[in-house]
Amino acid sequence: MVEENQSEMMGKEVQIGDVLTGTITKVDEKQALVDVGFKSDAILPISEVSSLHIEKVGDVLSEGQQITVKATRIEQEKDELIVSKRAVDADKAWVDLQDKFESGEVFDAVIADTVKGGLVVDLGVRGFIPASHVERHFVEDFSDYKGRTLSVKVIELDQEKNKVILSHRAVLEDEANRKKNQVLEDLQVGSVIEGTVQRLTDFGAFVDVGGVDGLVHISEISYTHVDKPSDVLKEGDKVNVKILKVDPANERISLSIKAAQPGPWQQAAGQFKIGDVVKGTVKRLVSFGAFVEVAPGVEGLVHISQIANRHIATPGEVLKEGEEVQVKILDINTEEERMSLSIREVEGGASEKQPKREGKKETTTAYSSDESGMGVTLGDLFGDLAKKIKAVIQGYYVKNFTKKGTY
């Protein structure tokens, strides 16, 4: 009876499940002793130290350290109290993780180990980051992740199965989406910005403009014809692009490289003037003349009457597509993107006089200016009018068939 009273005085009563605070008095390889005010120091086995596997207790705990443990078993015969630090950590962790899971909170976690298929973290319970949720891109080797701190969020939680799945990729994607939405809001249609070519397709190029990819359609790459985007661009190229359209709802951006550059007709304003003789390439033949390119993206019309010094029924009689010719600029309107050209004048046809016919010149007298019989021919009366009519017809063709988009 005296011995029982003495035993009770030596330590407080402890029930299974009690949470106790104590001080580590000794650390062995496979266990630690903890003073929690019991009759004797409580035993903390290595298996109850952490939710993760550890080789030695000394890797995690040290003498003199204060810890909180839960009473898990009492050996009456030996008066031994078995405690668990892992159980206390787990109880707190499940409550905390449930809150984080429901709120979608992002928090930092230290990578404790790397295993086949992903990364392991100690959250009071074992947390796992699958390989597919480590980064937004594929990672082949995870060896250098151990000890690193990653921002994560809980994407799956099941206490009954002791399952905690975390994702770092989800955090990165959320950040990318926020940045993308901000960029979409900030982009202004009509502005010119710098971008980086990310990838090329048959129909165009995707250009990164501040974390968001926009499409430069193949027709918007250059003022000249482009067969394949890869002919003029490569991944990683820095390019200036003009924003044509922004669709935040569908996260689409339409861009143009050519619109960010001076147009060929703008350059033509300072490059060409009336009277210049330049080299060009016959691009297309039509019934009323030939379109000749005198600079990339700049075409002018050689009216059929300005092709040769003789009458021709069709331009194809003397010209073929792809042929290089010398042309003289008769008229140019860069604002309306029209140019009137002549091959005949380069060859001297416009200034050549008709050869004189031998013999008596036939004339038709319209009236006599005096009694001497000096007459005025029909050519004298209507020559200027014929020239004017011809000029009007030629001007009509230039105006209606050389403007961009009408031929």
The CATH T-level fold of domain 264-350+365-401 is OB fold (Dihydrolipoamide Acetyltransferase, E2P) (2.40.50)
Q: Does the reported pTM lie above 0.85?
A: no
pLDDT, average across residues 36-53:
90
Percent of the chain with pLDDT over 70: 83
Q: Find, among 42, 61, 41, the residue nearest to 50 by Cα.
A: 61
pLDDT band for 356, please (50, 70, 90 cuts). Answer: very low
Per-residue pLDDT at 348 exceeds 50 = yes
pLDDT in tens, 59-111: 889 999 999 999 999 887 778 899 999 999 999 999 999 999 999 999 999 99
Per-residue pLDDT at 369 exceeds 50 = no
**pLDDT reported for residue 385:** 52
Rounded to whole angstroms, how far apart are CA atoms 109 and 89? Answer: 15
- Domain 188-260 sits in which CATH superfamily? Nucleic acid-binding proteins (2.40.50.140)
pLDDT band for 270, please (50, 70, 90 cuts). Answer: confident
Tokens coding 321: 């597509």
Q: pLDDT: is 12 or 398 the higher one?
A: 12
Q: Where are the domains of the chain?
A: 2-87, 104-173, 188-260, 264-350+365-401
The CATH T-level fold of domain 104-173 is OB fold (Dihydrolipoamide Acetyltransferase, E2P) (2.40.50)
pLDDT in tens, 289-302: 999 999 888 999 99
List the end-to-end C-alpha distance of the chain, in Å, as a whole number.
Answer: 118
Per-residue pLDDT at 394 exceeds 80 = no
Tokens coding 235: 């991944």
Judge: domain 2-87, CATH 2.40.50.140.
yes
pLDDT band for 266, please (50, 70, 90 cuts). Answer: confident
Per-residue pLDDT at 29 exceeds 50 = yes
Q: Find, among 118, 135, 133, 213, the residue nearest to 167 by Cα.
A: 133
Per-residue pLDDT at 210 exceeds 90 = no
Per-residue pLDDT at 192 exceeds 80 = yes
Domains 2-87 and 188-260 in one fold: yes
Q: pLDDT: is 282 or 179 the higher one?
A: 282
Tokens coding 151: 């921002």
CA distances from 115 to 118, 130, 142, 315 (A): 6, 10, 9, 77
Per-residue pLDDT at 22 exceeds 60 = yes
pLDDT band for 353, please (50, 70, 90 cuts). Answer: very low
pLDDT, average across residues 364-380:
37
Burial class (CB in 10 A: 0-12, 13-18, 19+), 207: buried
Tell me the Ramachandran region of residue 143: left when phi exceeds 0, alpha when psi lies from -120 to 50, beta otherwise.
alpha
Mean pLDDT lowest for which of 112-126, 238-252, 375-389?
375-389
pLDDT band for 380, please (50, 70, 90 cuts). Answer: very low
**pLDDT reported for residue 7:** 38
Burial class (CB in 10 A: 0-12, 13-18, 19+), 115: exposed
